[in-house]
Amino acid sequence: MKKIFYILTIFLFKFNIAYSLIEVDITRGNLDPLPIAVSPLHVDSQSDNYQDVKTKELGELISSVVEKNFRSTGLFNPLNKDAFVQKPDIAHLKPRFEDWSLITAQALVTGKLLIKDEKLKIEFRLWDVAANKEMIALAFTTTPSNWRRVAHIISDKIYERLTGETGYFDTRIIYVSETGPRTQRVKKLAIMDQDGENTKYLTLGNELVLTPRFNPTNQLVTYLSYFRNKPRVYLLDIETGIQEVVGNFPGMTFAPRFSPDGKKIIMSFAKNGNSDIYTMDLESRLVEKITEDSSIDTSPSYSPDGKYITFNSDRSGLQQIYIMKSDGSGVKRISFGDGLYGTPVWSPRGDLIAFTKVRGGKFYIGVMRSDGSGERLLTENFYQEAPSWSPNGRLLVFYRETKAGKEGEGFTAKLWSIDITGYNERELKTGTDASDPSWSSLLSK
């Protein structure tokens, strides 16, 4: 992916760091989303007609992807294009701010595209309507087939400029696609863009696969496969499709994740009824046992600096969350609330741990600080689990299952996301039922 996508030029026409009037506070939720006008990209008259998608349509498609991204945040309110007075080409050169402020727009995005010799050049600008100012102007050159990624990168730049946070639109989500009745479920690894587009299947469904997770560069995935009816942790290269089993364990390995530097895989190994946590160095193949306890130790996740590990253990009797140093020393329980706690996963910012909580027959997705304080439950449902962080640490994606009837009817498994503010809970549309989502890091850093 990276190879075919290249940014030839990023012109910073003018990066206005001066204080501007628009500011989106993303820590308070989405009570008052910012009205933003996304003018369709206008087509430069020197453009060739691009073979697959008509050039003019491409301008509209890109702006609609940007718009959809903004709407999905709950922080922005993209305005209806019917109300736009100024033509896209003129607005891009010099917006008539009075017109835009009349339709309540506080921010305006304009752009232009040019297709020449199989290259797509896109320029866009973000304007502060109230301050009558340009906030960013950037240009990208790529192959026309990469238009979606450009739309996501533009979205990220605008999001970053307006919120002060890193964006998360130029990312993908890997998950398990599910079809068929519950007693004979067919599961495949699937990957899609963060907005649900470009779904591709990575396995055929011949064997059960679970819990895929990206490495830090998003080229490798570690997951559990029942290949030849032996549940083992595998490694998959997304580009080449090559799969290999991780280590040579005489029993089930499961719950894998990469270390933050991508050099190790941390996972559980179950033997004679006891599950402990192990790491394997992918280069030296050296295996290390991290926990030594007769209880179930699983769902390990590293802190972003790699110094600590959070995990799940029932050593106290029931599932609780623990942290320890990455060598296994200094084990400390951090969950003490009412109920069971599972699937701890460390935020990429390092401050929070997301988890699944089971209490009174309900399932919750929540966050707590890494010392166990400040527990906040974000969402309650019949069944939901397995949170995974957006790369900027602002959102969680997880899966939710509905209650099944007598013959399993009415059962669905879907991906959902929620802001850590507890606002903006949304379903991520997938072609099939879906579970075990894992969010990639930003594709272009």
Partner 1 sequence: MIFNKNIKNLLIILVSTLALSACAAGKKSASGSNDVYTGNATVKYLASGVKDRVFFATNRSALTTASRDTLRKQAGWMRKNKNLNVVLEGHGDERGTREYNLALAEKRANAARDYLLTYGISGKRISVISYGKEKPVNSASTPLAWSQNRRSVTVKTK
Return the structure tokens found at 78: 């993209």
- Cβ atoms within 10 Å of 7's Cβ, excluding its own: 15
Q: Is the Cβ of residue 211 or residue 218 nearer to partner 1 in the bound state?
A: 211
Interface with partner 1 includes 283 (CB under 8 A)? no
Mark residue 201 as left, alpha or beta (left: phi above 0; alpha: psi -120 to 50; beta: remaining): beta
The least distance separating partner 1 from the CB of residue 215, rounded to whole angstroms, comes to 19
Interface with partner 1 includes 79 (CB under 8 A)? no
Q: Which amino acid is at 55?
A: T
CB-neighbour burial class of residue 18 (10 A; exposed 0-12, middle 13-18, buried 19+): exposed
Interface with partner 1 includes 103 (CB under 8 A)? no
Stretch that binds partner 1, among 38-46, 76-84, 314-322, 423-431 (CB under 8 A): 314-322
Among 164, 180, 306, 408, the residue binding partner 1 under the rule CB under 8 A is 408
Interface with partner 1 includes 180 (CB under 8 A)? no
CA end-to-end span of the chain? 13
Interface with partner 1 includes 265 (CB under 8 A)? no
Q: Which amino acid is at 121?
A: K
Q: Which amino acid is at 356?
A: T
Stretch that binds partner 1, among 5-13, 212-220, 265-273, 281-289 (CB under 8 A): 265-273
What CA–CA distance (Å, rounded) separates 119 from 8?
11
Q: Is the Cβ of residue 55 or residue 384 nearer to partner 1 in the bound state?
A: 384
Among 403, 412, 427, 429, the residue binding partner 1 under the rule CB under 8 A is 403
Q: Contacts with partner 1: how many residues (CB under 8 A)? A: 47
Sole residue written with tokens 């020449």: 116
Interface with partner 1 includes 296 (CB under 8 A)? yes
Q: Which amino acid is at 410?
A: G
Q: Which residues contact 445 (CB under 8 A, 6 or more apart)?
A: none
Packing angle between helix 55-73 and helix 147-163, nearest 10 degrees? 40
Residues 315-334 contacting partner 1, CB under 8 A? 317-319
Interface with partner 1 includes 386 (CB under 8 A)? yes
Q: Which residues contact 316 (CB under 8 A, 6 or more apart)?
A: 333
What CA–CA distance (Å, rounded) separates 259 from 395?
21
The least distance separating partner 1 from the CB of residue 144, rounded to whole angstroms, comes to 41
Sole residue written with tokens 């087509």: 43
What CA–CA distance (Å, rounded) separates 300 from 59?
45
Radius of gyration, CA atoms only, the chain: 23
Stretch that binds partner 1, among 112-120, 128-136, 251-259, 370-378 (CB under 8 A): 251-259
Interface with partner 1 includes 388 (CB under 8 A)? no
Return the structure tokens found at 270: 């179950």
Q: Is the Cβ of residue 156 or residue 436 nearer to partner 1 in the bound state?
A: 436
Window 213-232: contact mask with partner 1 (x via CB under 8 A): -----------x----x-x-
The least distance separating partner 1 from the CB of residue 284, rounded to whole angstroms, comes to 26
Binding site for partner 1 (CB under 8 A): 181-183, 185, 208, 210-211, 224, 229, 231, 252, 254-255, 268, 270, 272-275, 296, 298-299, 312, 314, 317-319, 340, 342-343, 356, 358, 361, 382-383, 385-386, 401, 403-408, 411, 435-436
